[in-house]
Structure 1
Amino acid sequence: MRALVLTGPGEAEVQEVPAPVAAAGQVIVDVERAGVCGTDVELFTGEMSYLHSGVSSYPLRPGHEWSGTVTATGPGVDESWLGKRVTGDTMIACGHCRRCRAGRHHVCDKMRELGIRDGLPGALAEQLAFPTTYLYELPPTVDATVGALVEPGGNAQRSVTAAALDPGERLLILGTGTIGLLAAMIARSRGLEVHLLGHHLDVARHLGFDRAWTRDTLPGLAWDGVIDATNSPDMPGLAVQLVEPGRRVVWIGLSGTPSTVDSREVVLKDVTTVGILGASAGLADTVRAYASGSVDPRPLVAATVGLEQAADVLAGARPAGAGPGPKILIDPRR
């Protein structure tokens, strides 16, 4: 089968690789859509910290935002999975340790990440072998495009939940990329007053978020919760400065250099800070939100291109005719 392979920093090519065979507890998925995100770009450029710590290495097959159809089952797998459209968790854990048993498998010491860490080839390929333990069936109202946005939606879902706000309260989201905009959509569906801060606000306003600001125009309001969905080292500290005393700051963005946060301000304002790693606990709620139509992520997709164009997308190229949204999807069947 064809798969995208990262062969070194700034180097990627589509290669013919052995098709996967379903092991015990696994299915084979024909991948219909796979998303490209910032983590994939950092793996391509060589900036991803896992490459420096030895957790990941080249050659590497990326892709952790995906949807597809089950076409084969391995030993011990119920054949009712055949023909179902599915997506899956990125975090694949041991399932037996104290953290896994407590529902925190995404921080398991033996946790592997699909398409990110070594050992689990990703979904930027025609087929994918995947364990049923971490599989999610997609209802008929969730098509291939929307299914590939479940994983980023799960991260956004967890972020909004962690802000712990009631309907009518005011949420400020720093960042207008895919996660920031998905968090805004989810927060709006929960009845929150949503504000966004960013540099590029056209997409946010097109999605109906009129309360979209730059640093210069941000009003001096009381922010009941703040989510930082940027990659700027300055934003985590700004979030603490802006949030109301006694409320919550949620950090889901990761900067390339260490962020500076004054812990004295956290203490003296009695602020609760929450870090979000991965979508795991938010996936089921995201599938339900997409299926019900309360959140429609499709306007975020700027273009869908074939596997041969994936390397150009990772290098920062914008496909011809792309819309204004931040997300590029890959159809590996093209």
Structure 2
Amino acid sequence: MNTDDGIRTIEVDEPGGTGVRLSVAAAGICGTDVQFAGIGMTGFVYGHEFAGVDDTGRPYFVEPTIYGGECEECRSGNPQRCIEPNHGNLGVFSDGGMAEAIVVPDYTLLALPPQLDVKDACLIEPGSVAWHAVRRAQVQPGERVLVVGGGTIGLLAAAAAQNHGFDVDVDTRHRHQLAAAEQLGFGKPSDAYDVVIDAAGSDSSLARSAEAARRGGRIVTLGVYLDKMPIPGSAISQVKELTYINSIAYGRHDGVREVEEVASMLARRPDIAQTLITHRFPIEDAREAFRVAADRGAGAIKVVIEP
């Protein structure tokens, strides 16, 4: 939990309330968690990327979206856009999975395929964010795809595009990210692209995305912009007639949960987790885990806390 003294491991009350109690097996540190810690946000247990086991030992991933289920957005398969008063996200202003145990609504649970280790299943959440962005891009056969950003989300976006049968390149900043991209079979940037996914969320990544897009191309803004989104002006965006597509979280389509599709992808490809999860820490070392997660230049891609 983030406290007035920074990230610390503390004793909290046994979780209660209505729902299913899980013993948490692993919780990933997201860039959002690092941002929260950096601005000193306190008052709740972090962690929206997590998985665990119930009292019978059955493993589950937890889809952290809390929604009402009755509004038009929910009924259309977009619970991430729920407009009901009780909508929210576990681990974002409410207690999440960076704890030994948690009680969650039963509708958040996803039973894991046997081939996917519960300690790797925390990747389903960022993988679903990436998967949703690829679907939003509506990539067509023969189109070229570039992902800008070689962190967890960027590499999972490339994996999702590859899973859909598309050739994909990744524009990375750090040497260890390039090594991971090559290990997973992604190419290096070249020429112009029909679809560019900005998975870094910075002024420079958005400028790079616009530069790399062909005329008439599409840019999916997957990186998190907390204030304004610095879209390049007429010299690039308007002259090229670029289309910008926003993407947030994940939902359902044709009655299928996107988290379930990502779980299947990770089960088929254990090399993704083996490549992306670079560090694992016990919960007692949470402060060090956050320090490592914040230092991308030190070789971290996905840092995981294992309670």
- Give the shorter-chain TM-score range: 0.7 to 0.9
User: Do structure 1's residue 291 and structure 2's residue 267 form an aligned pair?
Assistant: yes
1:293 positional shift: 2.8
Q: Report the secondary structure of 1:180's partner residue.
A: helix
Q: Which amino acid aligns with 1:297?
A: A
User: Do structure 1's residue 70 and structure 2's residue 45 form an aligned pair?
Assistant: no
Question: Match of 2:69?
Answer: 95
Change (3 A) 1:148 1:241: same
Change (3 A) 1:210 1:31: closer
Q: Which amino acid aligns with 2:51?
A: S
Question: Match of 1:27?
Answer: 20
Of the candidates 246, 249, 254, which is equivalent to residue 278 of structure 1? 249
**After superposition, where does 1:199-238 map in structure 2 within 5 Å?**
199-206=173-180, 207-209=183-185, 211-213=187-189, 219=190, 221-238=191-208
1:237 positional shift: 3.8
Change (3 A) 1:237 1:317: closer
Question: Match of 1:331?
Answer: 306
**After superposition, where does 1:7-156 map in structure 2 within 5 Å?**
7-8=3-4, 11-23=6-18, 26-46=19-39, 58-71=42-55, 82-109=56-83, 110=85, 111-117=87-93, 120-156=94-130
1:22 positional shift: 4.4
180-189 vs 160-169, greater mean Cα deviation = 160-169
Q: Which amino acid aligns with 2:242?
A: V
Change (3 A) 1:269 1:39: same
Aligned residues of 2:20 and 2:103 also touching (Cα < 8 A) = yes
**After superposition, where does 1:305-316 map in structure 2 within 5 Å?**
305-316=281-292
Aligned residues of 1:230 and 1:255 also touching (Cα < 8 A) = no
Q: Give the unaligned 5+ runs of structure 2.
A: 253-257
Superposed CA RMSD: 2.5
Of the candidates 230, 233, 240, which is equivalent to residue 210 of structure 2? 240
1:288 positional shift: 1.6
1:209 positional shift: 4.2
Taking the aligned partners of 1:317 and 1:242, their CA distance within structure 2 comes to 28
Q: Which has the higher helix share?
A: 2
Taking the aligned partners of 2:241 and 2:164, their CA distance within structure 1 comes to 25
Question: Match of 2:221?
Answer: 251
Taking the aligned partners of 2:138 and 2:271, their CA distance within structure 1 comes to 19
Change (3 A) 1:294 1:11: closer
Aligned residues of 1:228 and 1:236 also touching (Cα < 8 A) = yes
**TM-score, normalization by structure 1:** 0.80
The percent identity for this pair of structures is: 28
1:176 positional shift: 0.4
229-238 vs 26-35, greater mean Cα deviation = 229-238
Q: Report the secondary structure of 2:134's partner residue.
A: helix
Q: CA-to-partner distance for each residue in 1:168-221, whole Å, 9 max, x for gaps?
A: 4311110000011111122223322211112114343341446335xxxxx3x1
Aligned residues of 2:219 and 2:245 also touching (Cα < 8 A) = yes
241-250 vs 127-136, greater mean Cα deviation = 241-250
1:267 positional shift: 5.2
